[in-house]
Amino acid sequence: MKLFLLCCLIAACSLLNAHKASAQTDKTHPSLKKAELRAESLTKLSVMDKYPVEPELTAKCKTWSLNAATVLKLLPLAKPVEVNVIDASYNTLPVSMEGIIVINGKEWKCSINAGSFIWLYGDKEKYVYAWNNKSLDKYFVTGRDLGE
């Protein structure tokens, strides 16, 4: 019984620490809730010739793109994540949409990967966000992969 209670206490502490880490992430990442996109700067970048993907993804990667209106709709739905989450749970594909996003008057270079995540690059900082809602998978070549 003591071992069970100790395990429960450890699990509760782990959840609390994960929640604190998540809250800290939300504070450090710029909010995308009211981001403004410069549509004329959004372009597709493909490096499939250097980094080929599985045959079933090749056709999807070749035809995948996002327009400015879709990006504006998707941005507020992206959640801040840590790099290790991207490495462990998302496919990094050799195709992305590149452009400029203006958040609260500050310009950020952005790279939206077809694997359903986005990088923001400032002068000295960079942040990553991801979409992990299954209903949004239709906008990407692949969504979050949890080994399903």
Strands (E), the chain: 36-37, 43-46, 79-81, 95-103, 106-113, 117-121, 126-130
Q: What is the pLDDT of residues 110-130, one digit of tens each?
A: 999 999 999 999 989 999 999
Residue 15 in contact with residue 22, Cβ under 8 Å?
no
| Among the ranges given (9-13, 105-109, 119-123), the one the predictor scored with the smallest mean pLDDT | 9-13
pTM value > 0.85: no
